[in-house]
Amino acid sequence: MFRSSTISSTLLFLGTALLGLTMTKDSDHWAVLVTGSKGFTNYRHSADVCHAYHIMKNNGIPEEQIILMSYNDAVNAKENPIPGKLYNKPNGTDVYDGCKIDYEGDACNSKNFINVLKGNSSGIVGGNGKVLKSNENSKVFVYFVDHGAPGFIYFPDIENDKLYGDVINATLYEMYTTKMYKELVIYMEACYSGSLFEGILPESWNIYVMTAANPHEPSRAAYCHPQDYVGDIHMKTCLGDVFSVSWMEQLESVDVKALSLDEQFQIVKNNAIKARSSHVQQYGQIKVVGVQPVSNFVGVSDLPAPEQSLSFLEQVNFRTFKRTLKTSSIQYPTDEQIQKQFISTISAHDVHLHHLYTVLQLEGGPKISLDLGSDISDRMRTDHVFKQFNPMLVGVSKRLTQGDDGPTGTLPRNFDCLRKLVRAYESACGVLREYALKYVHLMVEACENLPSNDPLGDSFAQQLQNACEH
């Protein structure tokens, strides 16, 4: 009787202890969700990030361990035909309902973002002060959505708050050395987002990154007019982004415990290709982190790699990948489904222009005609500036020829020079807006090919200012 009672007590103690360990372990999952834009034409970014919030929460990540940053102006903007609500797909649900924002307005900035990642609450200004309190046992998921250029991404104060690749990677390295995570997963929705990680992020940091675009191309918005409807109302702006809605809508239709990060990458990549969008990329620790279930990062599981993922990295094409999925419970979209889903996509460079055209088409009026004319004039001026600046690079860079304004294969590494050229442009031409981001690769080309008599790029900065003034 004594032995039986002792054994029962011991088993009860061990069971309670194991349950406590499991609960502690399962709750050690964190998510940082950020949109760095503002303005109604960036409505889709606010909808993307609130949609992601619900996915994290519905998969079990505690509310206190989800940190959300958003300027939060689109939802109640005067242009919003359904104020107080956000929709991430046609006839979708209101993703703003229950979306809890920790840093909004001016508190949504790059300094706070960096301090959130570092767990540095003393460096926070504004917001509610929430930061990562993760450790070497934590699984951390970071989702960023906004505009980007080769070498940097934007925050709402677009003139004064750009986050460059050197700062991003230095922050990730500090997180690695201070043991802020066991594994870190980053999904980044931004044009040219691959430029922030390609050739920079090492496998040893145990970070897995999926980007919406390679280093040399923009990403695309989704559900734009005429797909921008909620009931019989047209929102007159894009509701989502191809990359973002691909990974989020997929997670809502599959068992997230049966799908690996690497498998999701292949599906999202294929969606983007079939939608004639960008080339989705992955970086960092793919072989160890990439084979883990998505639920380990968008939820609270801590499962080993799905069985079908163990040999996945040896497969060479999507056709083979499809055969693998057919042996599992995962349903992959057909080409017809993808093309039907993304019948109305727009380059991120052109969303503002598309919005103005849509309003003109649906409402008309002299004001919108003037706004449209002004936007077209600004774009023509931007084209003119960089057409003047481009010939100055010919002969300096072997990659450029006279009149070539297409993207190059050069990756940003001289970030100090890039900062200098961006400041030079903005001091003479004004804010570097979405459309002008297509020309930042020329600044990168200049900075990566500095002549020996100008190691700091001062001459290029002056030439860029001169181009603005002519």
Catalytic residues: 147, 191
Phi-psi label, residue 151: left if phi above 0, alpha if psi -120 to 50, beta otherwise: left
CA–CA separation, 39 and 75 (whole Å): 10
For the chain, the straight-line distance linking the first and the last C-alpha, in angstroms and rounded, comes to 97
Nearest to 72 by CA among 89, 49, 91: 49
226 upstream amide cis, omega within 30 of 0 = yes
Residue of 158, 35, 42, 52 lying closest to 104 (CA atoms): 35
CA dihedral in degrees (84, 88, 91, 95; nearest 10)?
-50
Residue 133: count other Cβ atoms within 10 Å of its Cβ.
13
Q: Where are the alpha helices (DSSP H) in 59-164?
A: 110-118
CA gap 284, 205 in Å, rounded: 8
Query: Which structure tokens are listed for 139?
Result: 């699984």
What length does the chain have? 470
Q: How far apart are CA 32 and CA 52, in angstroms?
A: 10
Residue from 154, 219, 166 nearest 196 by CA: 166
Residue 223: CB atoms within 10 A of its CB come to 29
Number of alpha helices (DSSP H) and beta strands (DSSP E) in the chain: 14, 14
C-alpha span between 346 and 41 (Å, rounded): 12
Instruction: List the one residue out of 404, 70, 33 whose CA is nearest residue 244.
Output: 33
Longest dimension (CA), the chain: 97
Residue appearing with tokens 């649900």: 93
Phi, psi of 127 (to 5 degrees): 70, -165
